[in-house]
Amino acid sequence: MSNSLLSDLAGALVSGRVQMVDLTNTLSPDFPVIVLPPEFGQCAPFRMEKVSRYDENGPAWYWNNISMNEHTGTHFDAPAHWVTGKDVPSNTVDAIPAREFMAPAVVIDISAESAVDPDFVVTREFLTKWEVEFGRIPPRHWIALRTDWYKRVGTADYVNMQEDGAHSPGPDASAVEFMVHERDCIGLAVETVGTDAGQAMHFNPPLPAHSILHGNGRFGLQCLTNLDKLPTFGAMIIACPLKIEGGSGSPLRVVAMIEGKNV
């Protein structure tokens, strides 16, 4: 019975004692991408061109050519994505060891705060208070920020671009420092279009999540859905980016295993 652990898991999956939650948004041409000031290069949206669909270009088969940025749709940020992570070992998606692709998650619910204040900022102080209530964030976990932001997908409120920039919740530098150095997280998983807050350009330092996470070899998961379906502790996230040579990230299917309630 050397593989009893996985046999148990297989049994639990069959019985429903372990359930899968899809944390992925549908990759479609109109799924929004991060918008940078126009003078910068832009993130290509998802595009799909039919090659054939049981027609003169392929009578019995259907397939499409697709194109997109590495950071389009529900996607994974590798450390190399940010300048701070440029010298981190194994910093591209093809080099990240496979063991990193499956990790437990702790879900921090800031949906109420975010509903009131789209610019809600998660601070170290907020996290430490949270730990008092829910318990300590364990090491080598994805820290998932539940904002219910995914419910805004398809509306202008998702990227929430105003004349002074985007408005969506995210952490400040103190929070990210805390996650990385004091709680040794795998990475930060969010429902918004970036791990950083919409206004994080104006933070000090700017874009702390990208900067600190990737500078320390941690990952990002963005544009997730269904974080409200996960328990605070105990979910297992499977997030395997495409093995793109030297890739800075990748669209991917993200799923979570949770233990069922009624079995």
Partner 1 sequence: MTDPLSPPVKKDPLKNTRMGHVSPGLRSRAARAMAVRAGQGRFVLQVCDYCCTATYPPRDRCPKCWGTLDWQDQPTGATVMTETTIRVTTDLFFKEHAPWRVGSVQLEAGPTAIVHLHSDVRPGDRVRMELKLDRGGNPALFAMPEKETPNMVDDAQYRTFTADPKHRRVLVTDGRGPVGQAMAKALLKAGARAVFLGNGDTTMRFDGEAEMVAHENVEIVPLNVTDTNSVTKLAHQLGGRIDIVVNTAAVTRQSGVAFGSKLTDLQAGFESEVTGLMRLAQGFGPAMSARSDDGTNSAAAFVDVASVYGLTGRAGFAGQAATAAARLALISGLRGEMAQTGIRVISVLTGPVDDVWHQHVPPPKTAPAQIAKSVIDALTRGLEINCAGDAAKDLFARWQADPFLTIREENQ
Catalytic residues: 81
Rounded Cα distance between 259 and 245, Å, is 35
Q: 56 or 133, CB closer to partner 1?
A: 56
CB of 165 to partner 1, least distance (A): 12
In this structure, are strands 170-171 and 161-162 parallel, antiparallel, or unpaired? unpaired
Q: 45 or 234, CB closer to partner 1?
A: 45
CB of 81 to partner 1, least distance (A): 16
CB of 123 to partner 1, least distance (A): 29
Q: 35 or 242, CB closer to partner 1?
A: 35
Residues 6+ apart with CB under 8 A from 38: none
Interior angle at CA 253, CA 240 and CA 114, nearest 5: 110
Q: 50 or 129, CB closer to partner 1?
A: 50
Tokens (6 digits) for 148 = 């219910």
Rounded Cα distance between 263 and 260, Å, is 6
Rounded Cα distance between 85 and 215, Å, is 4
Q: Which residues pair with 107 in a beta bridge?
A: 144
CB of 212 to partner 1, least distance (A): 27
Name the residues that contact partner 1, by CB under 8 A: 28-30, 32, 35, 38, 41-42, 44-45, 47-50, 154-156, 158-159, 161
Rounded Cα distance between 170 and 175, Å, is 9
